[in-house]
Amino acid sequence: ASYWGDPLRGALAWLSQPGHAAEQAEVYLHPPGALAMAEMYRGLGLLRPGLTLVSGPEAARRARYFVYQNRRSEWDDLGWMLSRTAPRQVIEAAGAPVAFIWERQGD
């Protein structure tokens, strides 16, 4: 089982590893309320500098990475659109997918 927001820790840790994300990049988080928890992770040193956390429709137009918890009942239209393609990374806990990371291609 996962609790609200805890899958984001694994996703942000993965993005923070060398070579996994561009040096300077915007990371779209869904649901929007996850931004507060994710910024707490930054304060604890779990999110590397250079990753800017964003949410909302305007931010989605410019973000490079998209992070969604595996709670499809909470997904917005963008999450469903992204789910038609393979994610860049699947974050698992006990062998079950708990979060997905997609990367914008071609811009």
Contact 7, 98 (CB under 8 A): yes
Does residue 49 lie within any of the structural domains?
yes
Task: Count structural domains, the chain.
Answer: 1
Does residue 75 lie within any of the structural domains?
yes
Q: Tokens representing 18?
A: 């060398």
Q: What is the pLDDT of residue 89?
A: 98
The letter for the amino acid at 80 is W
- The pLDDT tens digits for 63-87 are 999 999 999 998 999 999 999 999 9
Q: Please give the model's pTM, rounded to 2 decimal places.
A: 0.92
The residue whose two tokens read 């996994």 is 20
Q: Can you give the C-alpha Rg of the chain in angstroms?
A: 13
Does residue 1 lie within any of the structural domains?
no
Provide the residue range defining the domain that includes 41: 6-103
Does residue 12 lie within any of the structural domains?
yes
